[in-house]
Structure 1
Amino acid sequence: MEFCDECGSMMKTEGDHWVCGSCGHEQARADAKTEQAQMVTTEGQEHSEVVDVTEAEERGLPTSTEHCPKCDNDRAYYYMQQIRAADESETRFFICTECEHKWREDDN
């Protein structure tokens, strides 16, 4: 699946091009081997996910004033991820900027 760089709408395939149904923008499709190589499927993603904190600023992860339960630092990187059913809220993950401890916060 591709999204249009111009308007953000979902694009459709037409031959060897992606075409936006909204604005008509076209772009060349990568070959099937390249597309297949970019897809990653993991089991138990929540338990095996690795977040490299040293690259958090380069990745643009925002920070918050959450207190780390391990070292009581008052700054943490955060991101949100949908790990439950689609009709439930996202889970917030925090990573301490000092000790790199990772914890999560669910809405109950």
Structure 2
Amino acid sequence: MGLIRSLLLLMISSGVFITSAFATDTSVANQVTQEVTQVTAQAAQGIEEKVNINTATVEQLQRVLQNVGRKKAQAIVDYRQKNGNFTSVDQLSDVPGIGTVTLERNRDRILL
């Protein structure tokens, strides 16, 4: 009888530890879910970021515009300094290295 009682106590106490482990896993899962939600929200804000091509630095252009590296960003700034402010977004296609695909991909990110 003592052996059965010991086994029952062992099983019950093991259940408590297993339940505690699942509770810990659930709280960790909740924390991870919250962190993923925050990162997703931050990423969404980054997508909505816009840049004024008449005032932006090379670094700002690189950061906001897709497929625009240092060389293309510098070309935008050089064009602006040589020709004055852009009067339309379509004028970006006059910048060496900025083609139709790059222009269309970034149209919603550009301010004048």
Q: Which has the larger radius of gyration?
A: 2
- The structure in which a higher percent of residues are strand is 1
Higher relative contact order (CA 8 A, sep 6+): 2
Structure having the larger proportion of residues in helix: 2
Please give the range of the TM-score, normalised by the shorter of the 2 chains.
under 0.3
TM-score by length of 2: 0.24
Scaled by the length of structure 1, what TM-score is found? 0.24
